Homo-oligomer: A and B are copies of this chain.
Amino acid sequence: MSGERPRRSDGTRAAILRAARERFAADGYERATIRAIAADAAIDPSMVMRYYGNKERLFAAAAEFDLRLPDLSAVPDEEVATVLIRHFLDRWEGDETLMALLRAGVTNPAAADRMREIFATQLVPLAERLAPGEPLTRAGLVASQVLGLALSRYVLKLPPITAMTRAEVVAWTAPAVRHYLRGRPD
């Protein structure tokens, strides 16, 4: 019932999805053209339409994403923020889907929706287990710091941020994230 038998075109479908993620990540929603994606996947643009219907649905398929947040129940309190930031950096650098979501989410409502959904369904529950009250607010603040870091480092490439090593980034931002997770406002 749930199992779809493999088709001969699965390779092409996967190539399209891979190329789409690349282009959306590099160029954003409007500048990533179906024609360019098709060229990257070495097939005809009309195939993209046949397999994914239209550009919007192609993006939806390419923007499927799991943060894969680790289980932090065994991690000592003082290290939670450090582990979390390291994990986010890994996800940003190891999977271009997040970049596609960020670049597209700034101008495309559906992409922004997906972004909200991801943080609401995946980060908030983690904050619920970790934080002493107000998990929504805390999760939102952590998200804002992580997103700001990604924006500065990977998209805008602010020189002071790109100049930092991974370890420096973690060391500097960990206290801020720790404050959002367990601290109190002024």
Contact = CB atoms under 8 A, between A and B. Distances in A.
Interface of A: 27-28, 30-31, 82, 102-103, 105-107, 112, 115-116, 119-120, 124, 136-137, 139-141, 143-149, 151-153, 155-161, 163-164, 168, 170-176, 179-180, 183, 185-186
A26 to B, nearest CB: 10
B179 A158 contact: no
Nearest to A32: B107
A82 B185 CA distance: 12
Given A140-B158, A174-B185, 6 more contacts: A30-B30, A116-B159, A143-B152, A148-B148, A171-B185, A172-B180
A147 B140 contact: no
A152 B144 contact: yes
Given A102-B106, A156-B116, A164-B137, A172 B185 contact: yes
Contact of A173 (B141, B155, B157, B175): B141
